[in-house]
Structure 1
Amino acid sequence: MSIVDNITRGFKHKNFRDFFFWQFLSFSGTWIQNTAQSWLIYRLTGSAFFLGLVGFAGSLPALILAPISGVTADRFKRKDVLLITQILCVIQGIILSALFFSGTINKWHILILAIFLGIANSFDVTARQTFIPLLVTKGDLLNAIALNSSMFNAARIIGPALAGILISKYSEGICFVLNVLSYLPFIVFLFLVKVKEHEVSEFSSSLAHLKEGVLFAWNTSPIRHLLLVLGTYSLWGMSFITLMPIFSDQILHRGAKGLGILMGASGIGSVIGALFLASRQKILGIKKLIALCGILSSVCIFIFAFSKIYLLSILLLIMIGFCSIIIISGSNTAMQAMSPDSLRGRIVGLFSMMFMGIFPLGSLTVGYLAHILNTPTAVSIGASICFLVAIYFFVKVPKLTKQAKELMH
């Protein structure tokens, strides 16, 4: 098997190929809107705190609803859940576009719509991740998750770069319209695709169902430690992305175009990291890789916080993107591999809570610290905390790997 065939082996499944392509279009639109929305907030307010507040509001629902989304993904057909969430996202995009072109949009509109989208995404992420095993064989699951991550991060490159050009030449509004249009082909795909859904059973109590998943994660040491790393990285590591407009405008003096390039640089690193993961044929050993990437990314974020050299900042973001995808997608794959099919939705729900749900707390915290201190100091504090947790996880890896082997055999 050639290197290319090995990396792309998930594409032999037609449903996954279609899922991959139409998601790419949709996610490109999402990143165009996200970048334009960040710039619009910054243009309207000039406030680091409000940037952090919108990031907090948009992701807060995941902290509350992600565990429930896991129950939903196990109790209902995941295809149906995805259809509903995608339609809600379209509605949000239409309202945002209408407010912008009517000239009535303000920061509070954006905040409320961010919460609305966050609620939809809370259920969407878990349903989407647990939908992938229905599209490929178990042997290709690691490859499919990694390819899916590469697609998501390729969209992170294209979306912000396009947004930067469109904002500078036209306005943020055109970005919001393109996002709405990007959802439509994926919705058509979901209507038409035929998959063998997981067995949907009736349960007497959703609370008991949720408790079962939480207890399994807590009592399974490798999953518990991976959730700790994810939560820390989301709270203190990834949150600096919220402040990227400030780095681009005030520190590096590159404006909206620079924002698109900086966001795209992180996406390039993430694509490289995802392709690296896709080339791996075994899940075992991935925890050591996650620990090393946790250490390296913390150092890079710390240096980025104080960098005033544009090229250096771009190179650091590429490395941060590479490490981030290893941490996030590697943890996702490892936890799904260690979980029985009947619990997969709930475990992915907890993953989503720690990955997406903790992020808003980080956005708010780092935004506030940047407001009362300064942006570089706030980001460097977060990087230091991530470094300490990564070192702790690295020390625990040998024992955790032994336990993981027992779970996967």
Structure 2
Amino acid sequence: VFYFLGSLASVNGFQIFMFAESWITHELNESPEALGFLGLSTALPTILLNLFGGALADRLNKKLLITLCQFLTLIGVGIFAVMYQADFMQYWHVYIFAALGGAIGAFELPARMSYYPLLITKEAMPSAVAMNSLTWQGTRVIAPAIAGLLIAVFGATPTLFVCCVGFLLMIVFVNMTRVDIPSNNNGGNPLQDIINGLKFIYNNKLFLTLIGYSFFLGFFGWIYMVMMPYMAVQVLNVSSSGTGVLLTAAGCGAVIPTVVFAKSGIKNRRMGISIGSFFAGFAIIGFAFSSYQFQSFSLAMFFVFIIGLSSSIYMLSAISSIQLNVPNEFRGRIMGIYTITYSIVSLGGLYSGLVGGYIDRLLGIEHIGVPISIGFGGFVVVLGSIFLYLYNKSLKVEA
């Protein structure tokens, strides 16, 4: 209970910070490429260090690792807030802080993802996955709306300090958990741990499929989240509060499956993986097309809601399949590699921003490129989900 309370506070802080960070970047530089490079700044350190983070999560005290990472995040966001308030912030400063945050996350996320399963029995795993997902998805309902409202009413600086409160609460609550998992540091080479983890994934087709397809879905499908400030302001002509409402709509959709399957989990996970990504792809196409063609805020909200709902079904199915099948001694490394998915989303944002800007210049039409890049990503996801369902044997047998 203490862990999930702390996680709820921390993830709220993280979601609010991500919104504020994107908003400040767009405020300082309105080009679509700016948000793309923000994604790159976050993603590169995470991808480069995530394997080491997963290896450390398997070797060290996970509670201590989570506490240290949360403390560093709190300090970093505090400095970010002071610099912004002093009017010292340039958009490239945001990239530096994003890179530092990505580096910290590379060590924290594997520790988190491998810590909470050790506090429960295997039979409770589907429910625990749903609860953990509810923490992330539920905050997507509240956090963007709170962030947009706080920025609109009080400005970005108080919003950033609210984030710090969430990180502080996580430090307090995680250290109130009564089960302390001992470290597994038996010497040896951490690099060899990483190699062993990669070999394990390669030799187990279920993990190779789920992690690989999650990377694919993150890069092509979930880029709409990175580009939402651009889509909201430049295409739909709404303010920060409107941007928050759109992201909240995605969160509302995502919460529904986590509540429905909180007790039992998704039984047919192969179907959940395929159908979830299939409908997410269609909704992404609808969001991109309708936003540019009709500039309808309510229609955009509807499609974003469906994206959130469908993506949540996919994530519940995929993460449950991984957590139920991975051995404890590999859990940190495997979940660490899986969490690279969230960084792949940021790289997808870079693709969308660069391609979108190029299409604008090529066609001589403003603000058409990003919707095209997002819609194309949705189309690719639809094709990928069909192929996955029809031709992948590992999901039929093991998921």
* Aligned length in residues: 386
Deviation at residue 196 of structure 1 after TM alignment: 4.1
The RMSD of aligned alpha carbons is 1.6
Q: CA deviation at 1:402?
A: 4.8
Summarize deviations over 1:183-225 as a string: whole Å, max 9, x none: 1121112233221415614142222211111111111111111
Report what 1:290 is aligned to.
Answer: 273
2:346 alignment partner, one of 342, 360, 367: 360
Q: Partner of 1:181 in structure 2?
A: 165
Displacement, 1:359?
Answer: 2.2
In structure 2, the partner of 1:395 is 390
Q: How far off is 1:277 after superposition?
A: 3.3
- Which of 334, 337, 347 lines up with 1:347 in the alignment? 334
Alignment-derived partner of residue 93 in structure 1: 77
Name the CA distance, whole Å, in 2 between partners of 1:196 and 1:92: 27
Q: Is residue 313 of structure 2 the alignment partner of residue 326 of structure 1?
A: yes
* 1:8 counterpart residue number: none
Answer yes or no: is the 8 Å Cα contact 2:146–2:244 preserved in 1.
yes
User: Counterparts in 2 of 1:188-227, with a 5 A limit?
Assistant: 188-197=172-181, 200-227=184-211
Superposition deviation, residue 396 in structure 1: 3.1
- 1:164 and 1:257 in contact (8 A); partners too: yes
User: Within the alignment, does 1:132 sit opposite 2:116 as a pair?
Assistant: yes
For the 8 Å contact 1:156–1:263, the answer to whether it is kept is yes
Do the aligned partners of residues 20 and 192 (structure 1) sit closer, same or farther apart at CA in structure 2, a change above 3 Å counting? Answer: closer
Instruction: Give the superposition deviation at 1:226.
Output: 0.9
Residue 264 (structure 2) aligned to one of 265, 272, 280: 280
Q: Tell me by how many angstroms 1:279 deviates.
A: 3.5
Indicate whether 1:385 and 2:384 are aligned.
no
C-alpha contact 2:226 2:346 (8 A) present in aligned 1: no
Report the Cα distance in structure 1 between the residues aligned to 2:215 and 2:232, rounded to whole angstroms.
26
1:105 aligns with 2:89: yes
Single out whichever of 63-72 and 83-92 deviates more from structure 2: 63-72
Query: What residue number does 2:364 align with?
Result: none
Once the two structures are superposed, what CA deviation does each residue of 1:108-166 show, in whole Å capped at 9, x if it has no partner? Answer: 11110010111111111111111111221111111111111112111111111011111
Q: Contact conserved, 1:56 with 1:359, CA < 8 A, in 2?
A: no
**TM-score of the superposition, structure 1-length normalised?**
0.91
Per the alignment, in what secondary structure is the counterpart of residue 197 of structure 1? coil
When residues 103 and 22 of structure 1 are mapped into structure 2, their CA distance, relative to the original with a 3 A threshold, is same
Would the aligned equivalents of 1:243 and 1:367 in 2 still touch at CA under 8 Å? yes
SS of match in other structure, 1:278: coil
Write out the 4+ residue segments of structure 1 that deviate beyond 4 Å after TM superposition: none
8 Å CA contact retained: 1:297, 1:319: yes
Tell me how far apart the structure 2 counterparts of residues 170 and 199 of structure 1 sit (CA, whole Å): 44
Cα distance in 1 for partners of 2:187, 2:348 equals 35
**Residues 211 and 338 in structure 2, CA contact (< 8 A), matched pair in contact too:** yes
Q: Structure 1: how far apart are the matches of 2:5 and 2:336?
A: 24
Question: Distance between the aligned counterparts of 1:316 and 1:276, measured in 2?
Answer: 20
- The residue that corresponds to 1:45 in the other structure is 29
Aligned residue type for 2:381: C
2:398 to 376, 382, 404: 404
Q: Are 1:303 and 2:286 an aligned pair?
A: yes
CA contact (8 A) 2:51 2:333 kept: yes
Question: Is 2:235 the counterpart of 1:251?
Answer: yes
SS in 2 for 1:200: coil
CA distance in 1, matches of 2:301, 2:217: 20
Distance 1:279 1:340 in 2: 23
The alignment partner of 1:358 has SS state of helix
Q: Which amino acid aligns with 2:134?
A: S
Q: CA deviation at 1:103?
A: 1.4
User: What secondary structure, in the 3-state scheme, does the structure 1 residue paired with 2:339 have?
Assistant: helix
How far apart in 2 are the matches of 1:69 and 1:325? 25
1:172 to 148, 152, 156: 156
Q: Deviations over 1:334-369 (max 9, x none)?
A: 11211111111111111112x123223211111101
After TM superposition, list the pairs within 5 Å mapping 1:112-123 onto structure 2: 112-123=96-107
C-alpha separation in 1, matches of 2:209 and 2:314: 12
Decide which moves more: 269-278 or 40-49: 269-278
> How far did residue 381 of structure 1 move?
1.5
1:321 is displaced (CA, Å) by 0.7
Cα 1:171–1:323, aligned 2, differ >3 Å: closer, same or farther? Answer: same
Name the SS of the counterpart of 1:99 in structure 2. Answer: helix
The 3-state SS of whatever aligns with 1:192 is coil
Equivalent residue number for residue 14 of structure 1: none
- What are structure 2's unaligned runs of at least 5 residues? 360-368
SS in 1 for 2:181: coil
Counterpart CA distance in 2 for 1:315 and 1:278 is 24
Identity within the alignment, %: 27
Residue 245 of structure 2 corresponds to residue 261 of structure 1: yes
